[in-house]
Structure 1
Amino acid sequence: MLVSGRSVGVVSTARITHATPACAYAKTPSRDWEVDGEMVGVAEGCTDIASQLIYNNSYAKVILGGGRQYFLGRNDLDPELNHTNSGRQRLDGVDLTQVWKDDKDRRKLSAEYVWNKSQFDSVDPRNTDYILGLFEAGHMQYELDRDNGTDGEPSLAEMTQKAIQILQKDSKGFFLLVEGARIDHAHHDNNARRSLYEVLALEDAVKVANDMTDESDTLIIVTADHAHVFNIAGYPKRGNDIFGVVDNVGEDAIAADGIPFTTLLYANGNSYDWGNRTNVSSIDTTHKDYLQVAAAPRSSETHAGSDVTIYARGPMSHLIHSVHEQHYIAHVMTYAACVADNTQRCDHLENRDPNSANKNHDRTYLYVMCVLINFLHLYFVHV
């Protein structure tokens, strides 16, 4: 993880040990080794991802997401479910949330562990330097299903806001990874409505980040790690519901078999209708549980091979343009933040007049926000 003296945070609507958030702090041959129970028979020396997060990344100030089951021992009661889930909890019996709390107490650090919205809302970022929030046993709820009551869980925007409030107190800057993970999950289920509402939730997180940071010293990058085989059909009337059927029945728009089709469709997935085209005229295709029709049968919809877009704002954002290999993004981030092989780039800033009009450039905050219509991530590089 990019640190170099900066504060660090990871936020996700997935399990915090899932693929993208784990990339920020763990090293593993398999993304599935999130908990020790997935590593039975693995040679000694390999450590599960949840353990790596707690034992090897004690400097991380913000950890917010789901996946509580992988941090509790097999005999520990889940505070929300009020029962054990031993098939998914830790075989070693260790409560990693307690390990995290004990570490912060021993070092006399201001820290809070929370697992519901009420506890989360009560955390005062002015007096809190470390926060661990695990709001679901597994992935967090979809935005359309989210319980925003006291026993529920915060939104992605709310987690992003509190993360920035805690991290931006560091005069050396911070790095924050924010992932809108459930966009991808809903696509895999051929569930367009839930997926697109997850996009809107991520958009809210981006707005929060823009409002809370300064373009002169914070690099925000928004992108996706891949596309999906998700299609938008042409020729619906202007203003027609995006989740509805194509309502233009002119000669050039109607399907050859005369059966209506929805504007949104998938190339493959579990909603294939096995060659019998369903007449959707009497179906509420705008309902959140409706699954758009897939053209080929699969247990889960696949990723796609098309390019995804990338957007950036802030220092060195001009380097984000055109088409790039994915690893290029990391090079831009380290270059903007003057870390890794780019430390000498900012040496001259140390001698800059502290009263200079450009004094904000004396510190680099890597604040990267990855977000897109497929799998959204936020990277905040406060420069």
Structure 2
Amino acid sequence: MTDNTFRTDLFAPYKMGALELANRIIMAPVTRSRMGEDGVPNELHATYYAQRSSAGLIISEATNISAQGRGYAMTPGIWTEAQVAGWKKVTDAVHAAGGKIVAQLWHVGRYSHVDLQPTGEAPVAPSAIKAEGTTYTENGVFEVSMPRALETSEIPGIIEQYRHAAECAKRAGFDGVEVHSANCYLLDQFLRDSTNHRTDQYGGSIENRARLTLEVTEAVVQIWGSGRVGIRLSPVTPNVGNTPPDSNVMATYGYLIQQLGKFKLAYLHFVEGATADSRYVPEGVDLDALRALFDGPYIGNNNYDRELAVVRRAEGKVDAVAFGRPFIANPDLVERLRHGAELAVAPREAYYGGGAEGYTDWPKGNY
């Protein structure tokens, strides 16, 4: 089924920072909610990731940096020794299959519930503004809880959580880490003036609201070196808790991206539009112009298919392309894309929770 009308370097080796990739197809973070309460990966997760190791790079599912950072049950962590050992099974399996994998470091901020917090306390956020929506805990599905605003004196502790998680990820055998500063979670909550009403050095001006993301990035780079650290941003995503975009997307994210340039990161991973939704961008926002401010490799993400990936790469708009949901039912997605083969589609009920069914039992395609 090879389609010779598609001529592209998407399937050629590519160096991204210090990461030597077999191709430019990236497996995006895909939450699958198949961990136990302890957030420890096991052999099932090792099999799942190894099956998808033909991706040039796997970005792990969003991984909690601390007990405080949890917002959903059955999601993984990377702050305890047991979690480090569990992830080591995963990274060893991916490497044995010839793949590369980085850990996405995640703190949900206000999008959590008291049942998920270590001692039943309120979730933390830049400001005490409640999100909309529900989350699932070990006790059922509930509305997210009212958060409390972090004290200025607590913020160094948040940075330390990221630093510690980055160190744990190194010991777990990952090839690098991605700072999750997207999708309306903690770092994005600090960035947006819709969720950050602080009056200290972490609120008010764009420079202040960007401060935490930059300080976290600096801490993580100190552990890993700049060539093995990436960052994910989603300037117009409103989907988590119906969080409004910043009132001046171009100025806020433009400043952040320019400041990130000083770190010489491995990549910028950009959600183009609303995460896991449409590629619609509001009037007055130009994501390609924001991308142009970043002097380094750029990963485009959101509702890509083979044709869009080839076109955007040919136009020089992306250096690599991240696919999320297509990797669920197509462990061999790279080969299917290479040969123009038909893609399997996973039913939504297979996305979250459960065991091997709908997780590691997807067959390879015909190509």
Give the alignment's TM-score, normalised by structure 1.
0.32
Which structure has the bigger radius of gyration? 1
Give the alignment's TM-score, normalised by structure 2.
0.33
